[in-house]
Amino acid sequence: MILKSLSVDCVVFGFNNNKLKVLLWQADPDLLKKFLSNNEEYLQIVDILKNNPALESDRFWGLIGTHLPAEEDLDGYAKKILQITTGIDDIYLKQVQTFGATKRVPHFRVLTVAYYALINPDYHDLKFSPLAKAVKWFDIDDLPEVIFDVKEIIQKSLKKLREEVQYYPIGFHMLPEKFTLTQFQTLYEVILDKKLDTRNFRKKNQNLGLLIDTNEKQTNVAHRAAKIYTFDSDVYNKLKEEGLSFRI
């Protein structure tokens, strides 16, 4: 059984070419039908799908998500959607909030539980599902036409990300396995949309012991080669248990 009044949407953020991006998709009724476990479930929400502008025109895009089956839990289903859509089963995922304005979906009352996820588009080999008609990264400041209140969901998710990235080093999920301090700082400046003091930023991160010097340096660069680091997840987990203070 599909819960017509409850859906799950995932705002997938990525960092590429020093820009923050969001992953959007276009679905197709026939493809969605295959995603659902049986034809009866598809018929339960066909009246919602047929009024979705993203299914009627290639101009509109939406967030990766769908209505919740009664037997699925919220967090597990959000992970399942992302795994099917991107091929990634180990992804940072955080619940943002529930969107429940009465007329957010004009033709039906729907509550949407939104999550944000963090991915490095270059580091992960995304395997986009054939269930999607199209999946594409868009610059956060240059979004296409989207359905319903998707822009509001993206903005609220970005606000949540900006709040949490100042207290927890979750930005590492958007970096390659090995990175320079400049890459690390640039990521945070892009997410927070502000310039950070280089000396203070680096000192704070190094004092926490979260960075491991690989004893490697950049190669084939025109400027002075920078040191390359990795993220110590064990130290992070320990600090988190003890009460991590990562205020940027």
Under 8 Å between Cβ of 12 and 128: no
CATH superfamily of 2-165: Nucleoside Triphosphate Pyrophosphohydrolase (3.90.79.10)
210 class by beta-carbon count within 10 Å (0-12 exposed, 13-18 middle, 19+ buried): buried
pLDDT at 31: 65
CA–CA dist 30, 131 (Å, integer):
9
The better pLDDT of the pair 104, 49 is held by: 104
pLDDT at 121: 80
DSSP helix, strand, coil percent of the chain (3-state; round to 5): 35, 30, 35
CA–CA dist 222, 187 (Å, integer):
21
The answer to whether residue 221 scores a pLDDT higher than 80 is: no
Give the architecture-level CATH label for domain 170-242: Orthogonal Bundle (1.10)
pLDDT tens digits, 174-189: 988 899 999 999 999 9
pLDDT at 135: 86
The answer to whether residue 50 scores a pLDDT higher than 70 is: no
pLDDT band at 43 (very low <50, low <70, confident <90, very high): low
CA–CA dist 192, 220 (Å, integer):
30
Q: What is the mean pLDDT of the chain?
A: 85
Average pLDDT (206-218) is 88
pLDDT tens digits, 67-106: 888 899 999 999 998 888 888 878 899 999 999 999 888 7
Query: What share of the chain in percent tops pLDDT 90?
Result: 42
Give the residue range(s) of CATH 3.90.79.10 domains in the chain.
2-165
pLDDT at 196: 92
Cα separations in angstroms, 48 against 29, 108, 116: 10, 7, 24
The better pLDDT of the pair 62, 34 is held by: 62
Give the residue range(s) of CATH 1.10.10.10 domains in the chain.
170-242
pLDDT tens digits, 157-166: 999 999 998 8
The answer to whether residue 213 scores a pLDDT higher than 70 is: yes
Under 8 Å between Cβ of 153 and 112: yes
